[in-house]
Amino acid sequence: MELAADITSEDLKVFLEEAEEQLQLLDDDILRLERDGASDELLQEIFRAAHTLKGSAATIGHRNMAAVGHASETLLDRLRNGDLAVNTEIVTALLHSLDILRAFKEELAGEADEEPDIEAVVAELEAATGAPDDADTDEPADPAPLSIDHGVVAAILEAEAAGDAVYRPIVTLLESCEWRTVRAFQVVSELSTIGTLLACSPTSAEIEADIVGRTIDAIVITKVGQEALEETLRAIEDVGSVEFVEVSSGPSPAEDAETDEASGAPDQSSAEETSHRAQRGSQTVRIDVERLDNLANMIGELVIDRTRIGQIGRVLASRYKDDELIESLSETTGHLSKVVSELQEDIMQARMLPVGTVFRRFTRMVRDLALSLGKQVEFITDGEDTEIDRTVIERIYDPLVHLLRNAIDHGIESAEERRANGKPETATLRLSAYHEHGYIAISVKDDGGGIDTEKLKQSVVANGLETQESVSRMSRSEAVNLIFTPGLSTADETTEVSGRGVGMDIVRSNIEAINGSITVDTAIGVGTELILRLPLTLATVNSLLVKVGKHDYALPLVYVTETIKISQHTLTTVSGRTELLTIRDQVIPLIRLHDIWPGGSGAGRAEDAVFAVIVNSGDKRVALGVDSLTEPQEVVVKSLGGFMGEVKGISGASIMADGRVVLIADVASLVNTAGRRPQRDAQLQSEAPGGSSDLTSAVAGNLEDAA
């Protein structure tokens, strides 16, 4: 891959950012073209984006990327002129060209090692383009002769006076060359890259109109020697010969418009686009994501200090009520609290992105997968403007990919099956996002065949994951949630899409790792809906603070449904160890947290006044026994990964205003301990760092060292 010699790293960075924007726009619009049909406005928007991308690629000297862009532009121009009608072949060719262009972009960004081969995709684009309907012969029209006017002559004389070389190469393509337009575009791009192109035949307009013969005649000012120039041109595929002739100093008649085109003067649309880009750049600033993360971390520290200062102020006010400085301190503390709160909100907003940024990436995937499986699927997205922290978006992409692929492969029936069942041949797959009680919910819903719980039971038994006796006692909701069993696969055969026994359990683990949850609602013959409930941000978490022994813990409120005081008559003990709590005629397993986490007081038996926090994770409902409740509070999340390693039952830590360290409970993993208490307790105890009886102290020490 070769780029223009004067391209800087900053130029390349800007190109990559703009290329990604244009590629995403093209991806969305081409899929709209297939779904909604052609309209003048849509075709113009697609053509403009393709033209912009091609021009940008030519500007940085990436001739292969520009060549693919040109071939796409030619096909789009025929669509725009009404010479072709939109069909699956054309849309597929355009999407394949986007794949190649994106691969080039990734190679430029250092994310890929090999430069893609453009020949296959250019051939596909040209096959989709076909020959113009009004063509009388197989040969294209001849371009106009090279135009040399007074302006070109003046530029030649000025270049010679400055000591620059002026050449007139005539490039002849092989008779067997099938891609004359592409090769002519590559020649022009190379000449523009290594020097200043004064005149050319065919002109840029003629190349875009496919008015290209076997020869390309040009005048170029360059600092490279004739030998190097010839070597560069001969390196282009299908170039048969390169000859140099003397540059004529006499002008030939030419129209002003042709002169502008030959000399590479920008057209009005390009000028307007540049102006628009300049205005846009003056209103927005691109900022590195890492810098936003650092700002969010510092704001977290400010929030802790703000609360601490407020507490100190209140203590001083109670001791020195009549001191004038106390009143000033109170006013300053109030103002500081307001400013920090606004700053925190602004930084959080800066990190928020609409979920549409990730939803749009699935439209193409759904379309291609449905085609490969021979299924007809209408993909609908709702709530794309719903905003969520970018770190959450990064973590939900892979789970959503799996859920959508599963829906198409397993959930949605073939057109024949749907027709036989009285359904429309085209299935509906809907991806929605909406706010729900301070969290964001994302729904993946299909109108397919639903989940067959009997087949699930048979599969888990056949794979040795459950016993026949245990599955026979399962409720329907418990049977449905067997899809999250590790190693389970109900696919009749292994394919590239599914059936490898790795999937839904990983999806649930990834969602629960960010304090989210996933639920399933399904009906045979009607369809399936999976709902992910996620925190808006991973920087802070709304929690219920509880005390277990001498330590404080935070339970994320997304899992909490209610709190109660445990009494003797509500408890039942089975097998001499497992405790069950009866609430409103419902029996719920009780997990006493002081039995799990090191440093517990050992108190909290049935005769003591202890509390239970009722939590839900998936379809499981569990009571967590704690010694006392404090208050709900938003806590700043600090990761333990770099300090303590993985601590079972703990997902992170926070520092309170008074300097206390509060550990944040991993409620999902705690819920999974229900029914497996003896073995799990020993595992959780043994995996605590060094078997310490004071886990909080160990975490506090490491957090202080890191600070």
What would the two tokens of residue 416 be?
């024949």
Largest CA distance in the chain: 109
Report the distance separating Cα 277 and Cα 336, nearest Å.
39
Contact 148, 219 (CB under 8 A): yes
Kind and range of the H or E element at 353? strand 352-354
Report the pLDDT value the prediction gives residue 129, as an integer from 0 to 100.
84
Residue 280 predicted with pLDDT over 60: no
Report the pLDDT value the prediction gives residue 678, as an integer from 0 to 100.
39
State whether the Cα torsion 381-384-388-391 is positive or negative. Answer: positive
Residue 316's pLDDT band (cuts 50, 70, 90): confident
What would the two tokens of residue 297 be?
């971390």
Q: What is the mean pLDDT of residues 629-636?
A: 80
- Fold observed for domain 355-535: Heat Shock Protein 90 (3.30.565)
Enumerate the active-site residues: 51, 73, 406
Tracing tokens 């337009």 back to the chain, one arrives at 181
Residue 263 predicted with pLDDT over 70: no
Q: What is the mean pLDDT of residues 321-346?
A: 85
Domain boundary assignment for the chain = 9-129, 150-270, 289-352, 355-535, 540-706
Task: For Cα atoms 136, 141, 144, give the angle at the middle one, nearest 5 degrees.
Answer: 155
CATH number assigned to the domain covering 9-129: 1.20.120.160
**Cβ burial, residue 621 (10 Å; 0-12/13-18/19+):** middle
State whether the Cα torsion 593-597-601-605 is positive or negative. Answer: positive
* Ordered alpha helix ranges (H), 463-586: 468-472, 476-480, 504-512
What would the two tokens of residue 142 be?
């001849």
In tens, the pLDDT along 416-435 reads 999 999 999 999 999 999 98
Report the pLDDT value the prediction gives residue 311, as an integer from 0 to 100.
79
620: helix, strand or coil: strand
Residue 134: partners with Cβ closer than 8 Å, 6 or more residues away: none
In tens, the pLDDT along 671-697 reads 766 644 433 343 434 344 444 345 555
Calculate the alpha carbon distances from 6 to 9, 11, 59, 235, 447 in Å: 10, 9, 10, 21, 55
Report the distance separating Cα 363 and Cα 94, nearest Å.
15
Report the distance separating Cα 429 and Cα 404, nearest Å.
8
For the segment(s) 540-706, the CATH number from 2.30.30.50, 3.40.640.10, 2.40.37.10, 2.40.50.180 is 2.40.50.180
* Ordered alpha helix ranges (H), 352-428: 356-372, 390-406, 415-420
What would the two tokens of residue 559 be?
């899992």
Which of 40-54, 159-173, 625-639 is least confident? 625-639
Tracing tokens 């992105």 back to the chain, one arrives at 353
Report the distance separating Cα 457 and Cα 569, nearest Å.
36
Report the pLDDT value the prediction gives residue 134, as an integer from 0 to 100.
43
Report the pLDDT value the prediction gives residue 686, as an integer from 0 to 100.
39
| CA-wise closest residue to 430 among 565, 527, 505, 335 | 527
Angle formed by the axes of helices 390-406 and 356-372, nearest 10°: 20
Report the distance separating Cα 181 and Cα 112, nearest Å.
28
Report the distance separating Cα 106 and Cα 116, nearest Å.
10
Upstream peptide bond of 202 is cis (omega within 30 degrees of 0): yes
φ, ψ at 221 (rounded to 5°) = -100, 130
| CA-wise closest residue to 56 among 119, 112, 4 | 4
Report the pLDDT value the prediction gives residue 282, as an integer from 0 to 100.
41
Report the distance separating Cα 419 and Cα 433, nearest Å.
30
Report the distance separating Cα 495 and Cα 463, nearest Å.
19
- Residue 265 β-bridge partners: none
State whether the Cα torsion 459-368-385-16 is positive or negative. Answer: positive
Other beta carbons within 10 Å of 450: 17
Report the pLDDT value the prediction gives residue 405, as an integer from 0 to 100.
92
Residue 491's pLDDT band (cuts 50, 70, 90): low
Calculate the alpha carbon distances from 338 to 57, 299, 308, 350, 657 in Å: 48, 13, 14, 18, 16
Q: What is the mean pLDDT of residues 61-69?
A: 83
Kind and range of the H or E element at 443? strand 439-446
| R_g of the chain, CA atoms, integer Å | 34
Q: What is the mean pLDDT of residues 238-262?
A: 60
In tens, the pLDDT along 602-619 reads 444 444 558 889 988 766
Mean pLDDT for the chain?
78
pTM greater than 0.85: no
Kind and range of the H or E element at 305? helix 289-319
Q: What is the mean pLDDT of residues 8-28?
A: 83
**Is the CATH code 3.40.50.700 the one for domain 150-270?**
no
